[in-house]
Amino acid sequence: MNSCPCCGETSATSLPLERPRRPAAARASVSLRAAANASAASSPTLDEAHCKVLTVGHSTRPIEVFVALLRSHGVTRLIDVRTVPRSRHNPQYNRDVLPLPLAAVNIGYAHASGLGGFRPTRPDSPNAGWRNLSFRGYADYMQTTDFAVDLASVIELARNDRVALMCAEAVPWRCHRSLIADALLVHGVAVCEIVSLERLQAHRLTPFARVRGEEITYPLADP
């Protein structure tokens, strides 16, 4: 089975390749928080509804192609949401390598460890609507302070920067960044996936999500 490299190994009982459908908090990473604080201090507050965040999977792209993709959509800051910010097969995306070609074109880089995957499911999970256990575990984690702090930092950065959230998986609905996008939508932040040099695709809330205020869960359908 295939699964998002950022979300952990696929359980035999999960369905990693299905599209989302209804079935029949320690601290932010220092670099991310510091960037958000600097952004808040230097510019006036903007309404959250006007914040725009992009998402992208680096996949196997050559670094030159990836950088061109970001530049074509005006990205000024890349937020890495991989739990492990390195790739054996695509070392051009390792944390100690990637910031250099980004800096050459004035794109900042930060790693958001508080938004990474590899999260266990809770025995009392309110997110049983996800049959994919990796996604269910991440949805459980979205209720924590750790997640909330780094999400707030992304929202703050997006007030003044053109932010892109990056993971490894090319297809957004196979990746936990789609759940991060749900959380951003609930906070009034419009999110689009970078599809190509010319095209963005608006993220839409997962159909079986339940929203109460700024809290989002994915419960089973009522019988």
Task: Tell me the C-alpha distance between 166 and 111, whole Å.
Answer: 10
What pLDDT, in 10s, does the model give residues 124-160? 999 999 999 999 999 999 999 999 999 999 999 999 9
34 CB-side CA count, 13 A: 7
| Burial zone of 137 (CB within 10 Å; 0-12 exposed, 13-18 middle, 19+ buried) | buried
Residue 181 covered by a domain? yes
Give the total number of structural domains in the chain: 1
169 assigned to some structural domain = yes
What pLDDT does residue 221 have? 81
- Residue 196 buriedness (CB in 10 A; 0-12 / 13-18 / 19+): exposed
Residue 199 CB coordination number (10 Å): 11
The answer as to whether 177 is a domain residue is yes
Range of the domain at 184: 30-205
Considering the domain boundaries, does residue 1 fall inside one? no
Q: Is residue 130 part of a domain?
A: yes
CATH of the domain at 42: 3.90.190
- Is 63 a member of any domain? yes
pLDDT (tens digit, 9 = 90+) per residue, 23-75?
Answer: 443 333 445 655 555 544 333 333 333 448 999 999 999 999 999 999 999 99
Cα separation, 38 vs 31, whole angstroms: 11
Whether 25 is covered by a domain: the verdict is: no
> Mean pLDDT over all residues of the chain?
83
pLDDT of residue 52: 82
> Is residue 3 assigned to a domain?
no
For residue 6, pLDDT beyond 90: no
